[in-house]
A and B are shown apart, each in its own frame.
Chain A
Amino acid sequence: MTVPGSVQTLVGWDALASALFLLVSLAIVATRQMLATLRLFVIQSLLLAVSATAIGIGTHSVHLLVVAGIVIATKVISVPWVLKITVGGEIYGRREIDQALTIPTSLILAAGLVFFGFFISERLFLTISVPEFTILNLPVGIACVLLGMFTVTVRREAIAQLMGLLVMENAVFFAGAAIASHLPTLAEIAAAVDLPIMTLVFGLLIRQIHRKLGTTRVGELSALGER
């Protein structure tokens, strides 16, 4: 790979961000604390912003710098805020969330999913034009989409499932930043505005569930019953 020195530094930053991105996604699968999940999501969004900035400077794309700004505004600031308003007590109360599987089992399965994601993304490399960023972001992004989906599947808790959805969203951005660095800004803004609204709707739904049932453990809602 023959790239100029400054681009190499940017690739280094991107590599650091993608390694930590993967690590944080794994941590979201493994953690038991509700508040920790939210904090990890915020960290993950910051890493997404770092990666987008690095790629934006590296490929001279202003759009990605805008994306980085939008990510910080929506995911780091507004999503936690919206969640605090709607379901604050559920998140900021220190409590543990349960899973359908034990944590070691879900970690092993998560590892399998990551391999699968890497395996698929290797097939996609052939068609890519800017290799040095894509080779980092695309596999990590696809693997983290799978990890987010896995989080939605195994958690029995509505807020944790929302976190899984948000992780998937982050991961799609992460993979997309490398492939489509010149996506119109309008599309980015549309996607970004959707996110707090989605969080708001979800939060209100969770609050309603909580008000009706006194719990947000949606995993236990499989049986019908009369109250």
Chain B
Amino acid sequence: MGRSLLFNLVQVAVVLLLAPLVEGILAKFEEMVQSKRGPSVFQVYRDIWKLLQKNETVSSHSSWVFRAAPYFAFSMPIFVALLIPVLTNYPLFFAFMGDMLAVGFLFALSGSLVTLAAVDTTNPYGSIGASRSRMVSFLAEPVFMMVFFTVSFVAGSTIPYIVQQSWAFSSQIFWGPSHILVVVAFLMLFLADENRIPVDNPHGNFELAMIGKSKYLEYSGRGAALIKWGGAMKFMVLAIVFCNVLVTPWGLASGKSFLDILTAIPFVFGKLFLFLLVLVAIETNLSKLRLFRINEFLGASFVVCLMAMVVSLMGI
């Protein structure tokens, strides 16, 4: 019991401490592919540290929403990290506190608060970014639902740990068409939700073309640091859901000693590393879609997911 709780907190610590590194590695890879030297992989840590040292400026016209949003953006990925299999194969202390719908709910809560905060300051770019990111997220919502329903229909449960086990121990399900279709749909959802390239350009500095980034333009100091760190954690958590639950549900700790947990960390990091390579390949090969073609992208992912549902219902 006590050990289970401890391991759960270790999972949170791993996400908390390694998330900036994951983002740094992704940025470094992308720059290397584009024949540039790129920043150090530890640059995100430095940015967060620098921002934490600085003073925070908050507009006197803004309400409590603006001040509360960074804390939500920072804490929701931590809660999610309690619910998903980051390092272990077996359910930990908080595993049955919430299922995958709770994961979706927690992210939706922080997402909507950040959106409200962006509108709150009456910065015009904030409102543009807010309305655009709402557009993307309401198009992504049905896909999210369908992915979760399909996955939990196959596994017979909505708890991420149990889903992971049902994929990991049945090659029949693992190689089934519905699994592959779900993986593709979730990858497209991931790209949309994390504002990656076919949907949004995360490196762009032009406010009128931004979708995700323009929500944070008004933040400074500690607020900006928390949002940056929270964003990195959200990225890592979703990547872990993708790797550990859906694509490669192996290589997690099945023993209950500390050594098992510690040896699982490099395995999980290796899987994330491979996932980042795939992501770099996608991001460097595609170009950003025009805003009104995002619905085609997400519509395609919805249809793929619908197909996965039907395939699994037909028992193919």
A residues at B contact (CB < 8 Å):
1, 8, 11-13, 15-16, 18-20, 22-23, 26-27, 30, 103-104, 107-108, 110-111, 114-115, 118, 122, 135-136, 139-140
Contacts and interface: CB of A to CB of B under 8 A. Distances in A.
Contact of B314 (A15, A18, A30, A139): A139
Contact of B300 (A22, A26, A135): A26
A108 B176 CA distance: 23
Interface stretch (B34-42, B113-121, B217-225, B304-312): B304-312
B296 to A, nearest CB: 5
A136 B314 CA distance: 11
23 contacts: A8-B171, A11-B175, A12-B171, A12-B174, A15-B175, A16-B175, A16-B180, A18-B177, A19-B311, A22-B181, A23-B180, A26-B303, A26-B307, A27-B300, A107-B303, A111-B307, A114-B307, A115-B310, A135-B315, A135-B316, A136-B177, A140-B177, A140-B316
B175 A23 contact: no
A122 B314 contact: yes
A128 to B, nearest CB: 13
Interface string B286-304: 0000000001100110011
Contacts, number: 70
A27 B185 CA distance: 13
A27 B303 CA distance: 11
Nearest to B305: A111
Contacts of A122: 314
B184 interface: yes
A139 B316 contact: yes
B285 to A, nearest CB: 12
B299 A103 contact: yes
- Most A Cβ at <10 Å: residue of B171, B181, B307: B307
Contacts of B184: 23
Contacts of A12: 171, 174-175
**Interface residue tally on B, bucketed by range:** 20 to 34
Contacts of B299: 103-104, 107-108
A103 B296 contact: yes
Contacts of A30: 296, 300
Interface of B: 171-172, 174-181, 184, 295-296, 299-300, 303-304, 306-307, 310-311, 314-316
- The list of the 4 closest CB pairs from A to B, nearest first, reads A19-B177, A12-B175, A19-B180, A104-B299
B188 to A, nearest CB: 11
Contacts of B303: 26, 107-108, 110-111
Most buried by B among A12, A104, A136, A140: A104
A26 B306 CA distance: 12
Contacts of B304: 23, 26
Contacts of B175: 11-13, 15-16
Choose among A16, A27, A110, A140 the residue with the greatest number of B CB atoms under 10 Å from its CB. Answer: A16
Nearest to B174: A12
Contacts of A19: 176-181, 311
